[in-house]
Structure 1
Amino acid sequence: MFFYDSMIKVVTQNEKKPLNTPASLRCSLQNSEEVLIVTWQKIKAVSPENMVTFSKNHGVVVQPAYKDKINITQLELKNSTITFWNTTLEDEGCYKCLFNTFGSGKISGTACLSLSVQPTVFLHYKFFEDHLNITCSANARPAPVISWKVSGSGIENSTEVLFHPNGTTSVTSVLQVKDPKRQVGKEVVCQVLHLGNVTSVTQTVHKGFWFSVPLLLSIVSLVILLVLISILLYWKRRRNQDRVLSDSAKDYFLELPTSLGESHGLPTSHWVRNVLIFANEICTEP
């Protein structure tokens, strides 16, 4: 769309470009007057700020604050184009092209740059004990608008908006379905409107696990009971093993008859923990 300023002397065109991409703004002087110099300015609240100029005598002169960011890419005095190499949020706004003419003075036009980010859309659902949540979220610049195509009754909708430092806006819409079982097998469509374009995301609700607090408590209680029983059985088993080991380790004695020992010169003895202990030394004749 073209705009005419200064009594139809300057033709300009606004631009809408994706963020972080190159962008160009154009101005064209529609009369036969001689142009001495072309100046591009950024329109600010207090006063316009000079960015870049072009003249036959000095060529292109870029102000230090805009070096490596912009340049005049159409080197003409009556038709001028300024190009942003990689747009940022600070580049969004309106700019003035100023033609300094011989005889008529300064003639200006205004061109505006709008930056956008295409939407990213996510659609998912989650079952709860007594309801179903269907969530659609979209992130874009400018802010997207979310609408739904869903059948059924007992459905409530809530929306949350979050602004990000990078200039994008996240919009999250949540449908709360009171009777989740009736929604099983049905399609849900999330529609995102952004800059006149509609993006639709469709998902079918499948039967899932209905979360139940009483059921969860029952399962947890059963698991705890089984663990306690296992610990008790293990403790009893260890206790029995310790008792058997204790009984086998008791001292017991095997006495040799005194008469047998004396008559044959054998020492008296007894067993201590499976070791044979002699009470007196065995005498041997030389």
Structure 2
Amino acid sequence: MARLTVAHFLCVLGFLPKALPALIETQQTVTAALRDDARLTCRLTQTKDVVQITWHRLRHAENTFLASYTEKYGERVNPKLERKVEFADAALQRTSIVVKNLTEEDKGCYRCMFNTVSEGALTGQTCLQVYELHEPVLRVGGSDSTVVSCWATGRPAPTVSIDVLQKDLQLVANGSVSVANSNGSVTVNTTAVLSGHPVNGKQVVCTAQVFSSSQTTTMIFPDLDEEPEPESRDGLYAEESGPSLSYICAPLISLALIILILCLVIFRRKLNNKKNNSELEKKMTSERPQDDNTTTPLIEEGTKAKRRTPFKKTPSRMSPSRKSPSNPLTLKPRELFFNSGDKTNCPKLECLNENC
């Protein structure tokens, strides 16, 4: 006690050095869920002559450049990480970056560096933890419905606990079982036995926690006289396993009925069209004449009248006294020439035949 008093007295007098405040203020650990965004911030507690700010990621002994800022050139981001990292706050005394759509590869420590003219590089560091946590599932089992089970899946392995809200009920923990999944996550199943009666209408709370993040599920004990709800293949209640089967089947049945009605309508139309075409073809066939060589009554009557009319010879234009020669060879060539053409302007020909 005396030594502490002396040390405090010397510190007040200035003989012992005082602890210097941190020049860079930052959050040592940042936790964020998988596929979320994380914001990392560094801030100078004192004003310095800063000319440049840079961010690096330290992971597996690798130092990866992320981004930098200067008043002259502004913000610069690693071209390979343009969709991953962006500035949220760019200034010479304070800087913040956002790491988007977090994956397991993004966890690690990030270093912010303030490059000054007089004091060199001032460095701060913050570490990012990426977690995965799914909503816990609570179930009541056993012959007397007094066994309570709760499980949750997360990365890293979550902490699963079961509690009751009523003071007249107690839970005796039986233990937890962890199962590693192929994707790196872990499923933890915690089981407890409920003591105290009656349990009808009592509430049980299951909490799953990873780092500072937690998720809670609450369930009310069912009536012991009622039949338990059927379980799915995964051991979950039907209402916990997903949407009811009726909600899935109803739209499918409606769609099938609509398709069936459309098919019936199309088939009926095709059948009617085929029937109409058949009737039209029959009608056209009945109206078509049986024999193409049969003549109409009018033509037939004209033919008969023509047959009854005697043939009359057309009188010859030549005078009876001047008959045409029976043998054309007796005519002169000139006469043959004019007889074959127009006779109106022909000169009067002399007949060489004695019978002219």
Distance 1:68 1:98, change over 3 A: same
SS of aligned partner of 1:104: coil
CA separation in 2, counterparts of 1:15 and 1:184? 42
1:46 is aligned to 61
Contact 2:137 2:217 in 1 (8 A): no
CA separation in 2, counterparts of 1:40 and 1:22? 17
CA separation in 2, counterparts of 1:80 and 1:132? 55
Note if 1:20 corresponds to 2:32. no
Note if 1:138 corresponds to 2:142. no
Residue by residue over 1:45-70, the C-alpha shift from the partner in whole angstroms, topping out at 9 and shown as x without a partner, is: 42432222222343333224423100
CA separation in 1, counterparts of 2:198 and 2:150? 16
SS of aligned partner of 1:32: coil
CA separation in 2, counterparts of 1:73 and 1:131? 53
The correspondence for 2:221, drawn from 201, 204, 228, is 204
Contact 1:131 1:176 in 2 (8 A): no
| Aligned residue type for 1:87 | L
| Aligned residue type for 2:176 | T
Note if 1:10 corresponds to 2:24. yes
CA separation in 2, counterparts of 1:46 and 1:63? 19
Contact 2:53 2:115 in 1 (8 A): yes
CA separation in 1, counterparts of 2:161 and 2:85? 36
The correspondence for 1:75, drawn from 76, 90, 95, is 90
Deviation at 1:162, TM superposition (A): 2.9
| Aligned residue type for 1:83 | V
SS of aligned partner of 2:200: coil
Q: What does 1:30-69 correspond to in 2, within 5 Å?
A: 30-69=45-84
Structure 2 unmatched ranges of 5 or more: 1-19, 229-356
Residue by residue over 1:106-153, the C-alpha shift from the partner in whole angstroms, topping out at 9 and shown as x without a partner, is: 11011222334454121122345x986432112345513313439779
CA separation in 1, counterparts of 2:186 and 2:46? 44
* 182-191 vs 65-74, greater mean Cα deviation: 182-191
Contact 1:188 1:205 in 2 (8 A): no
Distance 1:28 1:192, change over 3 A: same
Task: Flag the structure with higher helix content.
Answer: 2
TM normalised by structure 1 equals 0.57
Structure 1 unmatched ranges of 5 or more: 1-5, 211-286
Residue by residue over 1:226-267, the C-alpha shift from the partner in whole angstroms, topping out at 9 and shown as x without a partner, is: xxxxxxxxxxxxxxxxxxxxxxxxxxxxxxxxxxxxxxxxxx
Note if 1:173 corresponds to 2:194. no
| Aligned residue type for 2:40 | L
| Aligned residue type for 1:139 | T
| Aligned residue type for 2:149 | T
Note if 1:157 corresponds to 2:162. no
Distance 1:153 1:122, change over 3 A: closer
CA separation in 2, counterparts of 1:30 and 1:156? 49
| Aligned residue type for 1:170 | T
Distance 1:35 1:96, change over 3 A: same
CA separation in 2, counterparts of 1:188 and 1:154? 12
* 16-25 vs 144-153, greater mean Cα deviation: 144-153
Deviation at 1:77, TM superposition (A): 2.0
SS of aligned partner of 2:59: coil
Deviation at 1:160, TM superposition (A): 1.5
Distance 1:147 1:184, change over 3 A: closer
Contact 1:39 1:54 in 2 (8 A): yes
TM normalised by structure 2 equals 0.47
Contact 2:160 2:189 in 1 (8 A): no
- Structure with the greater relative contact order (CA < 8 A, sep ≥ 6): 1 or 2? 1
Q: What does 1:83-162 correspond to in 2, within 5 Å?
A: 83-128=98-143, 133-142=147-156, 143-149=158-164, 157-162=174-179
Deviation at 1:25, TM superposition (A): 0.8
Residue by residue over 1:192-248, the C-alpha shift from the partner in whole angstroms, topping out at 9 and shown as x without a partner, is: 1523757352331433669xxxxxxxxxxxxxxxxxxxxxxxxxxxxxxxxxxxxxx
Residue by residue over 1:146-185, the C-alpha shift from the partner in whole angstroms, topping out at 9 and shown as x without a partner, is: 13439779966231123446665422112367x9xx7763
- CA RMSD of superposed structures (Å): 3.6
Distance 1:167 1:79, change over 3 A: farther
Task: Flag the structure with higher strand content.
Answer: 1
| Aligned residue type for 2:109 | C
CA separation in 2, counterparts of 1:40 and 1:122? 41
